Amino acid sequence: MPAADSCLLTALRRIAAGLAIGLCAFFSLPGAVAEPAGPVRIGLEGPQRAAWAAVGRLQIGPEGHCTATLIAPDVVLTAAHCLFSPQTGRARLATRLQFRPGWWDGPGRLRLRGWAVAVAETYRYDGATTGPGGDIALVRLAGAAPARLVPFPPATEPAQAGERVAVLSYGRDRPDQPSIEPGCRILRRAGSVLLTDCEALPGVSGAPLLRLRGGEAEVIGVVSSRLGPENAETGPAVAVALDAHIETLRSRLAPRR
């Protein structure tokens, strides 16, 4: 790794420590989030939701949620720290996880239970000090999602600095409505860590970085944390590149019996 990238990665780990977006219990705090000056998250309405329904809320207990993405009929992708309890530091039971694809505040809402989980081999959860490196995980579902839910596949080409991406998420400000942020950018890549100018706030943990080509979307990364002052409502998103971990994660994910 070039020295400049090594320094950037070290800096990102230090800055992001304690700023992991975490479990979104925070989404009940009062106060609106101001729109950023750059790329803006847009709430999806009506028919738009169906096209993006592979992304949903990962409910992790009564205390909150993260965002997750269906990348295979029975596999979702999210941030690893979402799978750990900040109170105990222990991994959550996979069967207590619930994926809610295309979630919105209305009738006909689907809930899919977890079966098994796999986190990146290099990931170690250490509460608030957990940095972005390896903060990526897969959840095997107890059954396949309905055929109408078309997964967003992992990208076949690595994430690159400078490319435009979109982020689809369930932020604290819109916990029952998917929001898309098109046209943000990957500013730098250091190892598997991606620094972006996409907006991050509680609830966006686990959201996919999507590469849009020819009307199709593919996943190139997962939002892990945000940069900025500890008391900031929002900040630039730090993500983990999927290409650095996907094969190992697949090999570690247990099949259904």
Q: What percent of the chain has pLDDT over 90?
A: 51
Give yes or no for a contact between 120 and 83, defined as CB atoms under 8 angstroms apart. Answer: no
Instruction: Answer whether residue 86 is part of any domain.
Output: yes
Average pLDDT over residues 39-67: 83
Instruction: Answer whether residue 27 is part of any domain.
Output: yes
Instruction: Answer whether residue 220 is part of any domain.
Output: yes
Average pLDDT over residues 207-224: 93
- The secondary structure of residue 82, as a DSSP letter, is G
CB atoms within 10 A of CB 240: 27
Under DSSP, is residue 69 helix (H, G, I), strand (E, B) or coil? strand
Instruction: Answer whether residue 248 is part of any domain.
Output: yes
Domain that holds residue 16: 3-252
pLDDT digits (tens, 9 = 90+) for 134-175: 999 999 999 999 999 999 999 999 999 999 999 998 877 777
- 157 — alpha (psi -120 to 50), left (phi > 0) or beta? beta
pLDDT at 106: 59
CA distance 61 to 224: 19
Average pLDDT over residues 28-36: 28
Instruction: Answer whether residue 88 is part of any domain.
Output: yes
CA distance 82 to 94: 11
Nearest to 4 by CA among 190, 192, 158: 190
Cα Rg of the chain, angstroms: 16
Instruction: Answer whether residue 120 is part of any domain.
Output: yes
pLDDT at 232: 66
Q: Which of the pair, 2 or 95, is modelled with greater confidence? A: 95
Average pLDDT over residues 38-44: 71
Average pLDDT over residues 218-246: 87
Q: How many domains does the chain have?
A: 1
Q: Which amino acid is at 255?
A: P
pLDDT at 4: 37
Instruction: Answer whether residue 257 is part of any domain.
Output: no
Instruction: Answer whether residue 148 is part of any domain.
Output: yes
pTM for the model: 0.82
Count CA atoms closer than 13 A to 8's CA, side-chain side: 16
pLDDT at 108: 56
Please identify which residue in the block is written with the tokens 């070039």.
2
pLDDT at 105: 61
Mean pLDDT (the chain, rounded): 80
Whether 30 shows a pLDDT value over 90: the answer reads no
Domain with residue 114: its CATH number is: 2.40.10.10
Q: Which of the pair, 233 or 67, is modelled with greater confidence? A: 67
Whether 28 shows a pLDDT value over 60: the answer reads no
pLDDT at 6: 37
CB atoms within 10 A of CB 53: 20
pLDDT at 230: 66
Q: Please state the φ and ψ torsions of residue 48, each to the nearest 5 degrees.
A: -60, -30
Q: Who contacts 227 (Cβ-Cβ below 8 Å, separation ≥6)?
A: 12, 15, 16, 19, 195, 235, 236, 238
